Amino acid sequence: MARKFVSRSWGISARSAFVVATVVFLALGVAGAGLAASLYRTMLSGIDSAAAGRVSEIAAQLRSSGPAGVEDRLFDTDERIVAVQVVTESGVVVRDSASAPDAPLIPVSALGEGSQIGMPEQTTPFGRIRISAQSVDGPGGDHYTVLVGEGSAAIASTIRAVILALALAAPVVVAVSATATYLLVRRSLKSVDEIRTRVADITTSDLTERVPVPDRNDEISALAITMNEMLARIEAGHAAQQRFVGDASHELRSPLTTIISALEVASAHPELLNAELAAGTLIPEAQRMKALIDDLLLLARADERKLGVRLDDVDVDDLAAAEVDRLRRETGIEVRADIRPARLSGDAPALTRVLRNLLDNAARHAVSRVDVAVRRAGDVVVVTVADDGPGIAPADRERVFDRFVRLDADRSRSAGGTGLGLAIVREIAAAHGGSVTVEDPSGGSGTVVRVQLPFRGERADGASSAKLPESSR
């Protein structure tokens, strides 16, 4: 229940401070326990070493001189050595330190032969202390035992003092850490809140607003910069959508107005509604409207999801030859063709649409000649369509693939173009995993449009092949 309260009711600053306080508290607990254990082992090792040294010195002098020959300084005591005794085999204390009791610290019979350093705490007349002992033979053959009591109680007192100090310091460290974290996170979130407030105020009616970018170079600044870049993309997309809707409405208005006008005249004068009016005005304008709607639907599907294409074996050279023949029949422009065998896996109607759009576009802009080339180059099929028209400036060569783009008067509605042909070419080429570029002609003026298609028909999005909608054919 407490966890649920923390996670849902507290702000990020409070939750962060709580988490930091918990982590610091646990870290201090683990570190304090490790420090106390390490300090205890270190101090215990120190008193064991001191006791071992004292036992060794006394034993050496006992062997050579007996109890009376042991130097008095070896019976001095301090914090590490609290009691020293030399005990006979019968349990009589023959030499001891001033603070040692008269009775042996532990019964001699409980000790084995040899040296025993740092035996666990024993209950002695001196209290519970740690004992080191060693058996030794004197010069007269007498057997003695050296007992040295270690000041382990001082170690325990020291460890308790350290633990107490850590316990007193821990709340201060935890409080300082939690407070610093709370203030730091709250300061950082202040910038986030400013960004959130500004984003909340931005509406589709005014996408020019941008979020404030903090002066410091951190993740919040990166978030604000990324947010502004996203807003710029949204603004550009919204503007493009508005232009698209406006251009589409304008394109549809012209044939619709013509049809309505013709029908109004026919309604007022029924005798004028004849085959000539239908074939010369109504049907062409309706066909023009239908073609435009089909193009718009194709591009809308392309925006919604990648165009699906049916992958069949297609002879691009045959498709190109057919379109060249069509263009020669419908126009008086000279059409030169350099068509070589080129087969790929693709959608034949869609590729026909690509070739027809390119040739019609070139014919509208050409002065006297259109050049068409199809060839295989490595793993791609290259289709090149060139005209000797006014050409396209380098700055506009990417823009011509946008919808409803006409660069000059030559690309007018009266010439039959809607500004969607090259946009459709790029979408279909992309659906086949290919690309479309506008290049400079090798010599003179004009425009060269180059389409590259992988001959295996591998789609860029990796989707399964699917049939193009009928309206796109």
Task: Specify the pLDDT at position 304.
Answer: 61
Read off the pLDDT band of 91 (50, 70, 90): confident
Of all residues in the chain, the percent with pLDDT exceeding 70 is: 85
Q: Are 132 and 52 contacting, i.e. CB atoms less than 8 angstroms apart? A: yes
Mean pLDDT of 294-314: 72
Q: The domain 306-472: what is its CATH number?
A: 3.30.565.10
Q: Which tens digits make up the pLDDT trace of 133-170?
A: 888 888 877 888 899 988 877 788 888 888 899 889 88
Domain locations along the chain: 1-193, 219-302, 306-472
Q: Are strands 81-88 and 143-150 parallel, antiparallel or unpaired?
A: antiparallel
Task: Specify the range with the lowest mean pLDDT, choosing from 182-191, 255-264, 404-413, 429-438.
Answer: 404-413
Long-range contacts of 412-416 (CB under 8 A, 24+ apart): 413/251, 413/254, 415/364, 416/360, 416/364
- Architecture (CATH level 2) of domain 1-193: 2-Layer Sandwich (3.30)
Q: Residue 5 pLDDT > 50, yes or no?
A: no
CA separation for the pair 139, 71 (Å, rounded): 16
Q: What is the CA radius of gyration of the chain?
A: 49
Task: Specify the pLDDT at position 408.
Answer: 54
Q: Which tens digits make up the pLDDT trace of 37-47?
A: 998 888 888 88
CA separation for the pair 184, 192 (Å, rounded): 13
Amino acid identity of residue 272, one-letter, is L
SS3 194: helix
Q: Which tens digits make up the pLDDT trace of 197-250?
A: 888 877 766 777 788 888 777 788 888 888 888 888 888 777 767 776 766 676
| Higher-pLDDT residue of 298, 323 | 323
Mean pLDDT of 158-185: 89
Read off the pLDDT band of 473 (50, 70, 90): very low
Q: What is the pTM of this model?
A: 0.48
Q: Residue 418 pLDDT > 70, yes or no?
A: no
Fold classification of 219-302 is Helix Hairpins (1.10.287)
Closest CA to 354 of 427, 418, 291: 427
Closest CA to 6 of 352, 14, 342, 381: 14
